[in-house]
Amino acid sequence: MADLTILGSVNLDVVLRVASLPRPGETVSATGSDHYLGGKGANQAVAAARSGVNLEFHACLGDDEDGAWLISELEVLSVPSGDIEKLPSMRSGRAYICVDAAGENHIVVDAGANAQLKVVPPKRADAKVVLSQLETPIETTLAYCASLAGSNTTAVLNAAPAILRARDDLFHVMNIIVMNESELAFYAEIESLPEDIEDITRIARTLLSRADQVIIVTCGAAGALAISRNHLHVTPARRTKARDTTGSGDCFCGTLCARLAMGDQLDAAMQYASIAASLSVEKDGAAASMPSREDVELIIFEMESEEVPG
């Protein structure tokens, strides 16, 4: 049985490179375009697979050319495809992404077959970690993760894209919830982004529903925070020059859950995931930019060597 189970989306990412992101009502010219394997679930599955974890991935694709190409890309990247359903007369999901010269992006998603994902909850929880996101039906994720109650499986939700219903219907069944600063502000229903660690911690704690829950807030170049009712852990970010930030959050989530499933404690898994995410922004694309275990371990070795007096 798999150590990590991922329920998630698969999209064809259509990426347009622009000098600057368009403002409302503005038309800009693309300087180039590409297409990649994407979707939050697929990105996270690739990141996890490249970390070396034993993985199963539940997803839906359309029975179309996009779907066939996406399956082949997943298999090339060592993501098992046996639990991916292909639906007749359905189109596969697509994401349309504008990326500017600084690596920032705007993304519009057309769910397609992702909106039809249905997974039968397990009769017995075998996976050590289950990871899900919000590009597939909340009902499917809720039924699956609710069935894990009383087991030793850790249920992790990447609460993106932000959907208010998820807070009310889904957060309570999760052990770990991962979000960025914008998503934190959305779920807390505040207009401005939190400004400092104390502010982020206070706001995140209002979203906790149990003493054993943890909310992880990713803060880009400022690192990541793991927040529970009585504890705060800060993971600093590795300095890097971003080329394309698309999928960096997915890299963090997929790698984090892989490391947890492989036996890491949360603090160590966060450090590993933070380094992996920093490597991912140095390359183009989402799934295509996910670093290998060897890539991450080399950076860890270099960082530890720099800390040793010589």
- Catalytic residue positions, numbered: 250
- Residues 295 and 51: their CA atoms lie apart, in Å, by 10
Q: What is the DSSP letter of 221?
A: G
Pairing of strands 4-7, 55-62: parallel
What is the C-alpha to C-alpha distance for residues 299 and 261, in angstroms, rounded to an integer? 21
Cα 61–chain centre separation: 19
Where are any strands of DSSP class E within the chain? 4-7, 11-18, 30-38, 55-62, 84-87, 93-99, 105-110, 129-132, 154-158, 176-180, 214-218, 224-227, 232-235
**53 φ, ψ to 5°?**
-80, 155
User: Contact 174/156 with Cβ under 8 angstroms?
Assistant: yes
Q: How many CA atoms lie within 13 A of 106 on its CB side?
A: 12
User: φ and ψ at 115, to 5 degrees?
Assistant: -70, -10
Q: Using CA atoms, how far apart are residues 148 and 23, in angstroms rounded to an integer?
A: 44
- Torsion, Cα 34 7 131 129, to 10 degrees, reads -130
How many CB atoms neighbour CB 307 within 10 A? 6
| CB-CB contact of 11 with 93 (8 Å) | yes
For the chain, the distance separating the N- and C-terminal CA atoms, rounded to the nearest angstrom, is 46
